[in-house]
């Protein structure tokens, strides 16, 4: 048996690190706008869209704190257009994803979930 190794060349965006098969698409990604960080680690935030407790089935709006910031990364076009209003500067840009730590007010389960900036509201720094 013989092992066959193939080499592939990829080009990475210097902003987000996403790999592309050719230079042109990587350069196009680098030219995208970059969202400013709306929050910092430790900020207390509240979500705008109500969630449903998986255990109790109750609807709630949580308040929690930011524990991690991921990105910048290319925006998810479908999600941005359908749910976040499709603002031009966000759709064709690099955006941040915020990890929020919170407790469900009904079942008291501690959770960590990821949200984009337009889905959150600052309570205090």
Q: Is residue 45 domain-resident?
A: yes
Q: Is residue 53 domain-resident?
A: yes
Q: Is residue 24 domain-resident?
A: no
> Which domain covers residue 68, as residue numbers?
33-124
Is residue 63 within 8 Å of residue 102, measured between CB atoms?
yes
Q: Is residue 95 domain-resident?
A: yes
pLDDT for residue 75: 86
pLDDT for residue 87: 77
Q: Can you read off the two tokens belonging to residue 83? A: 């749910």
For 75-87, what is each residue's pLDDT tens digit?
A: 888 878 877 787 7
Q: Is residue 22 domain-resident?
A: no
Burial-class residue 94 by CB neighbours within 10 Å (0-12, 13-18, 19+).
buried
Total domains, the chain = 1
Q: Is residue 26 domain-resident?
A: no
For 55-102, what is each residue's pLDDT tens digit?
A: 888 999 999 999 999 989 998 888 788 777 877 777 888 999 999 999
Q: Is residue 12 domain-resident?
A: no
Sorting pLDDT into bands at 50, 70 and 90, what band is 14? very high
Rounded average pLDDT over 111-121: 93
Q: Is residue 19 domain-resident?
A: no
Is residue 75 within 8 Å of residue 33, measured between CB atoms?
no
The answer, yes or no, to whether residue 51 has pLDDT greater than 80, is: yes
Closest CA to 34 of 14, 19, 48, 20: 14
């Amino acid at each position: 048996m013989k092992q066959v190794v193939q080499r592939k060349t990829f080009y990475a965006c210097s902003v987000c690190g996403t790999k592309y098969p050719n230079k042109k698409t990587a350069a196009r990604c680098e030219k995208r706008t970059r969202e400013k960080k709306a929050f910092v680690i430790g900020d207390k935030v509240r979500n705008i869209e109500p969630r449903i407790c998986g255990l109790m089935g109750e609807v709630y709006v949580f308040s929690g704190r930011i524990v991690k910031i991921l990105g910048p990364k290319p925006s998810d076009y479908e999600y941005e257009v359908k749910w976040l209003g499709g603002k031009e500067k966000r759709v064709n840009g690099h955006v941040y994803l915020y990890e929020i730590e919170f407790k469900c007010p009904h079942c008291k389960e501690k959770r960590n979930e990821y949200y984009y900036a337009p889905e959150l509201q600052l309570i205090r720094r």
